[in-house]
């Protein structure tokens, strides 16, 4: 179980960071919008992934679409996304990364505003129930990223303390900044290194494999030496 006296918390984003879901989400959103006779380019949908569903529709399609069809679009997105769950796989090195965090004594908590059943599915997919100290779901968050609420909720799940957020999007970095938590990013969500750094990421790594190679240095200092 590692050194449980260790005082540092690893807050982990899920989609695009621990599980390879970003493009499934984009396709599900594309199909949902098409069901309402709205076409939003897939690249634009991808660029907003990491932002919570409560903000997503207005961000990509405007306030009018949110007001007239927001709830219906979110329901349709879930209907389109659920059949894709069986195609989802863990991000490369995700389970080893979680195991190394546990071995090194970090308190580890998932920070997600996703549906509870999706979070449960991912935890089991990662075989991670014994490697986590807690997790959030949509039930714990009133306003989603880039609001800091999900980061604050995750911290509360493990009693608070010094923390580092691991994510894959500029929305993660913004939420971390607003919560006063440094963010280390991986490139597995499709966001570029320069834009993640410009958003304020403390470090950027190709994948979780590189993070796992030196967890202490990577999460405490980013890759700044």
Angle formed by the axes of helices 22-35 and 63-81, to 10°?
Answer: 120
How do the pLDDT tens digits run along the chain, 225 residues long?
333 334 489 999 999 999 999 999 999 999 999 999 999 999 999 999 988 888 999 999 999 999 999 999 999 999 999 999 999 999 999 999 999 999 999 999 999 998 999 999 999 999 999 999 999 998 998 888 889 999 999 999 999 999 999 999 999 999 999 999 999 999 999 999 999 999 999 999 999 999 999 898 888 865 433
| Residue environment code for 103-132, b if the CB has 16+ CB neighbours within 10 A, otherwise e | ebebbbbbbbbbbeebbebbbebbebeebb
Query: Is residue 198 exposed (0-12), middle (13-18) or buried (19+ Cβ within 10 Å)?
Result: exposed
Output the six-digit token pair for 5.
Answer: 């006296």
Residue-by-residue DSSP string for 74-124: HHHHHHHHGGGGGG--BPTTHHHHHHHHHHHT-EEEE---S-HHHHHHHHH
Predicted TM-score of the model (pTM): 0.92
């Amino acid at each position: 179980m590692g050194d449980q006296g260790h005082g540092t918390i690893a807050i982990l984003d899920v989609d695009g960071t621990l599980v390879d879901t970003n493009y499934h989400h984009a396709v599900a959103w594309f199909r949902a919008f098409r069901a309402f006779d709205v076409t939003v380019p897939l690249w634009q949908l991808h660029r907003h992934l990491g932002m919570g569903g409560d903000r997503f529709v207005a961000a990509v399609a405007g306030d009018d679409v949110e007001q007239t069809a927001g709830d219906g679009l979110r329901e349709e997105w879930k209907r389109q996304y659920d059949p894709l769950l069986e195609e989802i796989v863990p991000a490369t090195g995700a389970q080893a990364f979680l195991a190394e965090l546990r071995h090194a004594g970090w308190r580890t908590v998932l920070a997600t505003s996703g549906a509870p059943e999706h979070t449960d599915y991912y935890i089991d997919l990662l075989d991670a129930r014994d490697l986590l100290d807690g997790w959030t779901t949509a039930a714990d968050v009133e306003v989603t990223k880039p609001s800091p609420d999900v980061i604050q909720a995750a911290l509360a799940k493990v009693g608070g303390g010094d923390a580092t957020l691991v994510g894959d999007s500029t929305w993660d970095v913004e939420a971390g900044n607003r919560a006063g938590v440094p963010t280390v990013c991986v490139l597995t969500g499709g966001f570029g290194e320069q834009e993640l750094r410009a958003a304020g990421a403390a470090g950027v790594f190709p994948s979780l494999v590189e993070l796992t190679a030196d967890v202490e240095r990577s999460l405490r200092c980013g890759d700044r030496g």
